[in-house]
Homo-oligomer: A and B are copies of this chain.
Amino acid sequence: METARGLRKTLHERGMRMTPQRQLVLDAVRELGHATPEQICGRVQQTAPTVNITTIYRTLDLLDRLGLVRHTHLGHGAPSYSVDEHQHVHLVCHVCGRIDEIPCELLDGLVGTLRARDGFELDASHLALSGTCRDCLNQETE
């Protein structure tokens, strides 16, 4: 597997090791798409029941620093992790909690504005936009 090799190499360069736990966490993040540390832990423990949640946290932190995964704070509670390739913006409905994804390119205009105006480099792949979804808007009307 592509990224597995890459990860092994990156780790080795830094005097770190590739371990079954790390592989399992990366696999779980990839399989789940979006997941909290708790959910990732559950997935990993299906294969290796003794892996501790502490290791999940440490590994997610490591993978995040290495740029292999990202996390987003979608409202309250635990953050959601996903693999870095999987880029999109989240639309979080603060009424029903529903989460939709939209392509990052929709933010290109805003990215340009902030770059020019504030020198701020917006990271569209980290983003959660909150508001009211179509369904909840309709229910208000009814």
Contacts and interface: CB of A to CB of B under 8 A. Distances in A.
Interface string A102-137: 100011011001100111111100110111111001
Interface in A61-93: 73, 75-76, 79, 91, 93
Contacts of A100: 118, 120
B114 A121 contact: no
B106 A119 contact: no
**Size bin of chain A's contact surface:** 20 to 34
A27 to B, nearest CB: 25
Contact of A126 (B94, B102, B110, B123): B94
A134 B113 CA distance: 14
Contact of A75 (B73, B119, B129, B131): B73
A109 B113 CA distance: 11
B127 A130 contact: yes
A122 B137 CA distance: 11
Contacts of A123: 94, 130-132
